[in-house]
Structure 1
Amino acid sequence: MENIDFRKNTLLEVKNLKCYFNDSRRVLKRNNRVVKAVDGVSFNINKGEVYGLVGESGCGKSTTGRAILNLIPKVGGTLSFDGNLIYDVENKYSISRKEMQKIFQDPYSSLDSYMNIGSIIKQGMLKHGLVDEKEARVEIKKILELCGLRGECIDKYPYEFSGGERQRIVIARALALKPKFLVCDEPTSALDVSIQAQILMLMDSLKKEMNLTYLFISHNLSLVRYFCDRVGVMYLGNIVEESYAEELFLNPKHPYTKCLISSIPKTHPREKKFRIIMKDEIPNGDNLIKGCKFNTRCSYASEICKYKVPTLKEVTKGHFVACHEIV
């Protein structure tokens, strides 16, 4: 992707976002520990941009997306959307739901099997008063065709469609409210590789046609490299590195980012690749790690890493890293 300066057109601004949960495994015990799923995350997403969030399972990517959409409670931080404050600790979440929508990971469980496609899509449209019952059918057919399905599918049920077609229906449902911003939580992970490419091409064309902005959450680093404009790397509830996609993959700075990129499978049998192996397993979110949270697994950790938390600092233009050994 070309390094475009989006900073003058910020759509979503996340500052010091925190989501803590009580450890359910310790409900009947004393001194219940708190799981810090998201622990002070800050980033901006700009109009027309695809911002990627990557990291191991359990690092807080999906929780961040849900918190932005107010699907789970937050304990700290602020959210601003299109120049307006929509959440802080003292005020309730305030934004029209139709402005921000979500594309779910599993197209099988995210669609009600007892409702036909028309009924699934029109619920939100009627709820927000965008159309009446008569207009809804016409608009739904247009949206389905825009997403690569025939308008006649409106009376069919989810079980009559393949996985790729179901994901197109999920996208159509999200677009029915004409949002500005979409949280895409692993939107292709449940699909075959060939179908993944089709869905990504559809999402890219819809982004351009409807002026959409995406938060793209994924484990597939190869996909993120070519689909996203900027990428944030998360580890245990914090962003440890952020940069333009191509710069991040060509010149990773943080030891954790280097480990992730080294894990990308080879594209050719003769390709030589050195795999960086991290020490131990990822700690639980309720573990009280002092200093840098990655110090227990980092080969470069020094004494300062054990007691001082690093902050994101700009090392080159648009490239931010939270590491004592780098900055």
Structure 2
Amino acid sequence: MENYKLSKEPLLEVKNLRCYFNDKKLLFKKNKLVTKAVDDISFKINKGEVYGLVGESGCGKSTTGRAILSLVHKTGGTLKFDGNLIYDVENNYSITDKKMQSLRKDMQMIFQDPYSSLDPCMTVENIIKQGMLKHGLLKNKNEMNEVLHILKLCGLRNDCINKYPHEFSGGERQRIGIARALAINPKFLVCDEPTAALDVSIQAQIIMLMDKLKKEMGLTYLFISHNLSLVRYFCDRVGVMYLGKIVEECNAEELFITPKHPYTKCLISSIPKTHPTEKKERIILKNELPSSSDTINGCKFHTRCPYVQQICKNSIPKLKEIEPGHFVACHKIFN
């Protein structure tokens, strides 16, 4: 297995990605509601890197991850993986189904809910072996030994192999989900809130496991989460999403020490205090979070921003670099 450290060579390049959905209830009406789940975002993930994607529920984090793996409809944008163009929606280009099927071996997903993401009618052996058989990775190999190797890698006992998902705890099920994703030796993993359904002690175990596997197998992660403390510990770079837009992106530690965008400051202020004597001012936003289907002119955050100006209501701010590697989309920063 290839073992590489953080590099500046991009493994994944997302450019101008858009995912719009029509309201099915209004399909035959003139005034259709369009939900802009992901609205023109661009970012890169380098080899060996953990890129965090954070934001409130409904901001488009999970849709972004699924769009990268072509699991949802894309309205626009391009995607390059390992230097190869996967799709270019504007030019009506997409790799063939056969090539995409082959690419699944390199791009896998760890789902949020370990209870519903595993087939209850399949044993652990069959769950893990299914992908390996699909991609022809067990030719001239001992199937049982390969499955046991993956189980051991993910901290699971050999006697798990003939059991069904309902016989395990939540943490063990998530380990099975990770084992299933790793069984075909991928390069890139979309981790869609992989610890959200677990208690705190199990969360720590899963994150330590993922960190260990990243180093041993040279993996690259897109880590989607709303747990900011976890993101600060685990991620190398972070993108902050708000209503389908990336409003700030930079190194994880820098983001938490010197946040620039008003929305990022609000998110970070919501992190619970770690010590009773710690002084922290919570920023409370006055208005409710708008819907992704609402028509908002200008900056999408201007309806809740305490620093709103007239330009914010009329003009969409672009994501600009204010310091090396630190990007912000805010009129206040540049005016």
TM-score of Structure 1 vs Structure 2, range by shorter chain: over 0.9
Describe the shift of the 1:134–1:229 C-alpha distance in structure 2 as closer, same or farther (beyond 3 A). Answer: closer
| Amino acid across the alignment from 1:33 | L
Q: Does 1:326 align with 2:333?
A: yes
Unmatched 5+ stretches in structure 2:
none
Q: Which residue pairs with 2:120 in the alignment?
A: 113
Of 221, 239, 248, which residue of structure 2 is paired with 1:232? 239
TM-score of the superposed pair, with normalisation by structure 1: 0.96
Counterpart in the other structure of 1:62: 62
Question: Alpha-carbon deviation of 1:266?
Answer: 1.1
Partner residue in 2 for 1:92: 94
1:148 counterpart = 2:150: no
In the other structure, the counterpart of 1:47 is 47
How far residue 291 of structure 1 moved from its aligned partner, in angstroms, is: 0.6
State the alpha-carbon separation in 2 of the partners of residues 280 and 24 from structure 1.
28
Moved over 4 A (4+): none
Q: Is the 8 A contact 2:8 2:47 kept in 1?
A: no
**Residue in structure 2 matched with residue 266 of structure 1 by the alignment:** 273
The aligned counterpart of 2:286 is 279
2:299 counterpart of 1:292: yes
Q: SS state of the match for residue 63, structure 1? A: helix
- Partner of 1:159, secondary structure, is helix
Mapped to 2, the partners of 1:184 and 1:98 lie a distance apart of: 16
> Aligned residue pairs: how many?
323
2:196 maps to 189
Per the alignment, in what secondary structure is the counterpart of residue 78 of structure 1?
strand
Instruction: Report if the CA contact (8 A) 1:19-1:37 is conserved.
Output: yes
- Corresponding residue to 1:125 among 129, 132, 155: 132
Residue identity matched to 2:75: V
For structure 1, the residue ranges without an aligned partner over 5 or more in a row are none
Question: Of residues 145, 165, 174 in structure 1, which corresponds to 2:181?
Answer: 174
Identity level (%): 72
Tell me the equivalent position of 2:12.
12
Q: What is the letter of the counterpart of residue 41 of structure 1?
A: I
1:132 Cα deviation from its structure 2 partner: 4.2
Deviation at 1:122, TM superposition (A): 1.0
Whether 2:81 is the aligned partner of 1:81: answer: yes
Output the CA distance in 2 between the equivalents of 1:79 and 1:104: 21
For residue 155 of structure 1, give the secondary structure of its aligned residue in structure 2. coil
Q: Secondary structure at the match of 1:109?
A: coil
* Corresponding residue SS for 2:238: strand
Match of 2:94, SS state, is coil
CA distance in 2: counterparts of 1:126 and 1:108, whole angstroms: 24
In structure 2, distance between residues paired with 1:271 and 1:81: 44
Matched, 1:217 2:224: yes
Deviation at 1:111, TM superposition (A): 0.7
Q: CA deviation at 1:135?
A: 2.6
Any idea what SS the aligned residue of 1:294 has? coil
- The structural deviation recorded for 1:153 is 1.3
Q: For each residue in 1:190-209, what CA deviation from the matched residue of structure 2 results, as whole angstroms up to 9, or x when unmatched?
A: 11111111110000000000
Which stretch has the larger CA shift, 301-310 or 266-275? 266-275
- SS of 2:115's equivalent in the other structure is coil
Q: Distance in 1 between matches of 2:212 and 2:126?
A: 26
Residue 38 and residue 273 in structure 1: after superposition, are their counterparts in 2 closer, same or farther (change >3 A)?
same
Map Cα deviations across residues 121-177 of structure 1 (whole Å, 9 max, x no partner). 111111111114963222111000000011231111111111111110000000001
Cα distance in 2 for residues equivalent to 1:190 and 1:133: 38
How far apart, in 1, do the equivalents of 2:57 and 2:166 lie?
29
SS in 2 for 1:325: helix
Please report the RMSD computed on the Cα atoms of aligned residues, expressed in angstroms.
1.4
Determine which of 228, 245, 254 is the counterpart of 1:247: 254
The answer on whether the counterparts of 1:266 and 1:273 sit within 8 Å (CA) in structure 2 is yes
Is the 8 Å Cα contact of residues 120 and 166 (structure 2) preserved in structure 1? yes
Q: Distance in 1 between matches of 2:260 and 2:25?
A: 36
